[in-house]
Structure 1
Amino acid sequence: MWALRRASTPLRNQGYKVRTSYVFGKLEVPFFWEGNVAGFGTTTALSDRFISFERNNLATWPSAGVYISSHGLSTQAGAENSGEEDNVKDGFSELDETLPSTSPLEDRKAADDNEEELTSGSEIDDDDDNAVDDGTQNELYLLERETGLAEKKSTKRGSFELFNVIWKAPGLSVASALDKWVSDGKVLRRADISLAMLNLRKRRMFGKALQFSEWLEASGQMEFNERNYASRLDLIAKVQDLRKAESYIAKIPQSFQGEVIYRTLLANCVIASNVKKAEGVFNKMKDLEFPMTPFPYNQMLILYKRIDKRKIADVLLLMEKDNVKPSLFTYKVLIDAKGLSNDISGMEQVFDSMKAEGIEVDVDTLSLLAEHYVSGGLKDKAKAILKEIEEINSKGSRRPCRILLPLYGKLQMEDDVRRVWKICEENPRIEECMAAIIAWGKLRNVQEAEKVFDRVVKTWKKLSTRHYSTMMYVYGDNKMLTKGKELVNQMAESGCPMDPLICDAVVKLYVEAGEVEKADSFLVKAAKKYRMKPLFISYRTLMDHYAKRGDVHNAEKIFDKMIQSGYLPRFSHFGTLIQAYVNAKTPAYGMRDRMMARMVFPNKALAGQLAKVDAFRETAVSDLLD
């Protein structure tokens, strides 16, 4: 653990004490890293009761301290939900403790619901349950698999009759359709229930899944256990909100309010980036004296990776004090965090620590390293990792193909894309096809991508929005607006519903074609017509382009819509908004107060931006002009 904490904090192993001042107006907020703990302030106290990190010079900022005890976590700063849901939430289902596949996030704008393999004969393939996707997995999948809520695939192919009844039921009439189905003498088996729930979640039909769960309990068709209650809790969090999910816990019989319930709630708090609620649930789990496995600590690592990477070392210190050994997942989160920070040497140190602990290196960890090497422009290192993955592939498993294809595409290695695709081409799985489409898209070879997609359409009966959006992003990247529109119409004719993922793909399609206003208008109309919450990244795409233009009015409009949709801004979002004012050469009145109200603390770069648009800043000749 000591080696892991050393690798988790920049400069710590070099014996340096680094001090930086973040300027916000006239207030200086100094922080530094020193000793073995990355914390705020000049003192670090460690006792049997608590570990406290005090921040200097923060009297002007109420409740901005950071407190971490051996009993729990607490952060006052940024306590409100600052959720940046860049991706669509994947589904939980039956609760199994499984380790996730993982991949970098920040460069992954397209969501992936990690659907199981489809076959032309039915809708589920008997492939490996832990199969990874085409390399575009997102953090929400990583989160939910680690939560242990990913449903295991049945080893036998069951009837899809029950699922089809729910699928075809209009609107809020799932209960009526199921009542009729039972009255017709149909036998409701638990295996069919699990299969139906799995397929509803795979397709992100969370509303119908919730209706199904409610009907099962109300009709007495199934006796609920803790996992069934946890599944309902998760659906409530997804369809409604965290507050209602929390309220639901009180309705669960006391005997079933166990660890599975609280880890489900914790994961949803992390998905929503709600720091205050996540820390509260973490502390509650410790109060209830549940066995403290790596799981809750891993969730906090994911949260802080997104919100404040400086607190990652604090969580590792807490794990060490609580005698909780890091899991494979812990190392993956840390590798990803270092990679996202472009700290390649730190990432490699974490990887070395993982191997030193005797943890077996899997394909997913290798793909994570390769992704960050590719993103960092370290082509030779990326190739070396891909060679290791190919060796696994040569042992008879085709699973690495879906990892290799997009990475070779990003590296512009067309010959290798063709070589790997040839392995799968004769009898491809749908995820391999998606990986090939992404690869050809990266190579700007739209014709080959279309060829693979046409094969998908002809081979598989029912496609999800993820499959259509994969091709849509290729058209967007290549500024092929007409082709993209044709594909949306094709999707509609096939009966595939419009969802936030497709909306995001259309937004990108318009934006890449230079039609930002049309993208804006489309998103507004689609959200209203289909009563859906757009993805955060859709708002961010529009806001970025308005900011580049110096279009303050529209940048502010998108900023407000983002907040109205439930996404609370962090400093990067304020940075984009302030950049719009900078580019427009217009003062941003009240921006400091707005940031203070959101408890957003600027770094040096953001403080510099803010100074440029401060209407009341003093200059060298201000006193003369006055």
Structure 2
Amino acid sequence: MKNSDINSALKWCSRSRTRNVSSVSYYSTTTTTAATTEDRFRDGKMRTLYRRILPNLHSASIVPVLDQWIEEGQKVNRFDLVGIINDLRHYKRYNHALEVCMWMSDKRYYPITHTDIANRLDLISKVHGIKQAENYFNDIPIELKVAEVYSALLNCYAYAKQVVEAEVIMQQMKDLGFTITAMPYNVMLNLYYQTENREKIDSLMREMDEKGILCNKFTYSIWLSSYVADANMTGIDNVLTRMSSDSEVTIDWLTYSVAANGYIKAGLVEKSFAMLKKSEELLLTAKNLSTAFECLLTQYAATGKKEEVLRLWEHFKMKHEVYNKGYLSMITSLLKLDDIGSAEKIFEEWEFKKAKYDIRIPNALIGGYCRRGLLGQAKTLVDRVISENEKPNAKTWNHFTTGYIMHNQIDKAVEALKEEIFVAEPPQKPSKDNLVACLEFLKRKGNVEEAEEIIRLLKYKGFSVHEVSATDVENDKRRVIKNRKLLKDMKGQRDGRK
């Protein structure tokens, strides 16, 4: 391999990453079902149909299942078919949900309603794209183009993050004189938040006030999240004050938790701490208690108050079951507070509990060891993982790669990087920073063969755009497997000496 090939790989590593929109917001326009169990079916036979559909969700189409049901002389009712559609949507089986939608009107001749049209618009957009949804909308008779249908198209544009098109539909709804509730405004607010059009959020909020459109919980949530993303303390305070004075809105634990994020971001520790205390007081009202607990643990850690992390941990586990994610949050929090000793104790507590094995938990401690240069302890923990008949994953080796680089052991980082690439599965990707460090090291050493091995492994795993021969891939694959066997044999020898 020429140096130009290595330079090309380095150039690939340095490509700018797509910047993600902040994930502070806790509002979603996604429609969910209130009940997704079989128990809600009115017709017991429809429950049987639903059970037939479920095993076929891996198939390209479920229409044959529906057709066979009718051929057997069975009947279907509209209410339960809509329930099946909603379940399929809930589990993001949009293609199959659209099939049931089409089958209802095309083969069962159920008259199509405004709600059916709105659902179909949404599903067409998700399955076939926004252009197909536009074509469907244009073909809808004018008398059926009611506010619900326009709102559905608005949601489609928002889902596709097409701001201009969404604004046009919103204006058309106003021009047509539709009674507009908070929902379309929430869609636009969330779209502006997701696309970082922060200035338009305040403008839209003023418009709602001028038109007397009442805010709901979601409206406030998006508004608050936008101020948190910008670390706008005045804005956060104003939203909380307004929510407190709105008798129609109940502030929950998450509201105060999101506000706390804003104060943490601004470095206002005491204000964030006050918000977390208010959030904790409302903890038992959370729909998912474990998630709320895990969130507060990490936020208390972010304020630097270790005593609060330990207090909440002990208080919660006395009364409630702590699951794997709770242990992971606790270990991560303690590592952020640089208390590796307490993190080790929590890990041992988790091991003693004999919960379902979760590689993320030892990985968290391995990462803590590697960042601190305690690479021997990290290796010992990997041995414990293997002794539980578990396998280190890409994240495990990523921690080692990072640790070796941080502590100037690049030759060992190269070996860890190869292991990381070899076991990586989508959507996992090797760290570009680590990859650059290792390739630069090999380039300086003139070790072209090893650089070539890394780049071919990248290609084999689909992380590069260049072509690679099958022979090269298999050679590298066998080489890594051989290295892994040597490591295993060395471990066996060490165990035999004990």
Q: 1:194 to 1:186 in 2, by over 3 A?
A: same
**Segment drifting more, 411-420 vs 155-164:** 155-164
Residue 164 (structure 1) aligns with: 51
Give, as a single letter, the amino acid of the residue that structure 1 aligns with 2:63: A
How many angstroms does 1:213 deviate by?
2.2
Residue 85 (structure 2) aligns with: 197
Residue 341 (structure 1) aligns with: 230
Which aligned pairs between 1:355-434 and structure 2 lie closer than 5 A?
A: 355-363=244-252, 364-376=254-266, 378-393=268-283, 399-412=288-301, 413-425=309-321, 433=323
Give, as a single letter, the amino acid of the residue that structure 2 aligns with 1:419: H
Q: 1:190 to 1:322 in 2, by over 3 A?
A: same
> Is 1:433–1:453's contact at 8 Å kept on the other side of the alignment?
no
Give, as a single letter, the amino acid of the residue that structure 1 aligns with 2:137: I
Residue of 290, 300, 314 corresponding to 2:188: 300
Q: 1:261 to 1:311 in 2, by over 3 A?
A: same
Residue 28 (structure 2) aligns with: 143
Higher strand share: 1
> Is 2:297–2:330's contact at 8 Å kept on the other side of the alignment?
no
Residue 229 (structure 1) aligns with: 117
Residue 328 (structure 1) aligns with: 217
The CA distance in 1 between the partners of 2:310 and 2:98, in whole Å, is 45
Which aligned pairs between 1:463-482 and structure 2 lie closer than 5 A?
A: none
> Is 2:328–2:364's contact at 8 Å kept on the other side of the alignment?
no
> Is 2:124–2:132's contact at 8 Å kept on the other side of the alignment?
yes
Which aligned pairs between 1:248-287 and structure 2 lie closer than 5 A?
A: 248-287=136-175
The CA distance in 1 between the partners of 2:296 and 2:66, in whole Å, is 45
The CA distance in 1 between the partners of 2:324 and 2:85, in whole Å, is 24
Q: 1:417 to 1:183 in 2, by over 3 A?
A: farther
Q: What fraction of aligned residue pairs are identical, expressed as a percent? A: 21
The CA distance in 1 between the partners of 2:245 and 2:35, in whole Å, is 34
> Is 2:394–2:423's contact at 8 Å kept on the other side of the alignment?
yes
The CA distance in 2 between the partners of 1:223 and 1:434, in whole Å, is 49
> Is 1:143–1:271's contact at 8 Å kept on the other side of the alignment?
no
Q: Secondary structure at the match of 1:362?
A: coil
> Is 1:476–1:508's contact at 8 Å kept on the other side of the alignment?
yes
The CA distance in 1 between the partners of 2:224 and 2:295, in whole Å, is 20
Q: 1:544 to 1:165 in 2, by over 3 A?
A: farther
> CA deviation digits over 1:203-241, x for unaligned, max 9?
222222222222222221644322222222112222221
Q: Secondary structure at the match of 1:164?
A: helix
The CA distance in 1 between the partners of 2:48 and 2:225, in whole Å, is 41
How many angstroms does 1:336 deviate by?
0.7
Give, as a single letter, the amino acid of the residue that structure 2 aligns with 1:356: S
Which aligned pairs between 1:123-138 and structure 2 lie closer than 5 A?
A: none
The CA distance in 1 between the partners of 2:423 and 2:165, in whole Å, is 34
- The answer for unaligned runs of 5 or more in structure 1 is 1-83, 87-104, 109-137, 426-431, 458-470, 491-505, 527-533, 565-626
The CA distance in 2 between the partners of 1:185 and 1:294, in whole Å, is 46
Q: Under a length normalisation based on structure 2, what TM-score does the superposition of the two structures give?
A: 0.60
> CA deviation digits over 1:145-183, x for unaligned, max 9?
5xxx33332798236543332232242231012211333
Q: 1:228 to 1:516 in 2, by over 3 A?
A: farther
How many angstroms does 1:327 deviate by?
3.2
**Bigger relative contact order (CA 8 A; separation at least 6):** 1
Q: 1:518 to 1:287 in 2, by over 3 A?
A: farther
How many angstroms does 1:260 deviate by?
1.9
Which aligned pairs between 1:308-323 and structure 2 lie closer than 5 A?
A: 308-323=197-212
The CA distance in 2 between the partners of 1:203 and 1:85, in whole Å, is 27
> Is 1:476–1:510's contact at 8 Å kept on the other side of the alignment?
no
> Is 1:436–1:449's contact at 8 Å kept on the other side of the alignment?
no
Which aligned pairs between 1:76-87 and structure 2 lie closer than 5 A?
A: none
How many angstroms does 1:249 deviate by?
1.4
Residue 184 (structure 1) aligns with: 72
Q: Does 1:219 align with 2:219?
A: no
Which aligned pairs between 1:504-519 and structure 2 lie closer than 5 A?
A: 514=401
Q: 1:450 to 1:224 in 2, by over 3 A?
A: farther
How many angstroms does 1:252 deviate by?
3.6
> CA deviation digits over 1:98-142, x for unaligned, max 9?
xxxxxxx7256xxxxxxxxxxxxxxxxxxxxxxxxxxxxx65xx2
Which aligned pairs between 1:55-94 and structure 2 lie closer than 5 A?
A: none
> Is 1:339–1:347's contact at 8 Å kept on the other side of the alignment?
yes
Q: 1:245 to 1:357 in 2, by over 3 A?
A: same
The CA distance in 1 between the partners of 2:142 and 2:286, in whole Å, is 45
> Is 1:298–1:329's contact at 8 Å kept on the other side of the alignment?
yes
> CA deviation digits over 1:388-418, x for unaligned, max 9?
3444456x87755531332124424144134
Q: Under a length normalisation based on structure 1, what TM-score does the superposition of the two structures give?
A: 0.49
Q: 1:550 to 1:336 in 2, by over 3 A?
A: farther
The CA distance in 1 between the partners of 2:361 and 2:108, in whole Å, is 48
> CA deviation digits over 1:507-535, x for unaligned, max 9?
87775564778888999x85xxxxxxx7x
> CA deviation digits over 1:528-556, x for unaligned, max 9?
xxxxxx7xxx89x96787799999xx9xx
The CA distance in 1 between the partners of 2:154 and 2:419, in whole Å, is 38
How many angstroms does 1:375 deviate by?
4.9
- The answer for unaligned runs of 5 or more in structure 2 is 1-17, 42-46, 302-308, 334-342, 368-380, 402-415, 441-454, 466-498
> CA deviation digits over 1:27-57, x for unaligned, max 9?
xxxxxxxxxxxxxxxxxxxxxxxxxxxxxxx
Q: 1:439 to 1:220 in 2, by over 3 A?
A: same
> Is 2:231–2:263's contact at 8 Å kept on the other side of the alignment?
no
The CA distance in 2 between the partners of 1:310 and 1:219, in whole Å, is 49
The CA distance in 2 between the partners of 1:270 and 1:402, in whole Å, is 28
> Is 1:259–1:285's contact at 8 Å kept on the other side of the alignment?
yes
Q: 1:182 to 1:384 in 2, by over 3 A?
A: farther
Give, as a single letter, the amino acid of the residue that structure 2 aligns with 1:279: E
The CA distance in 2 between the partners of 1:106 and 1:303, in whole Å, is 13
Residue correspondences, number = 372
Aligned Cα root-mean-square deviation (Å) = 4.5
The CA distance in 2 between the partners of 1:200 and 1:221, in whole Å, is 21
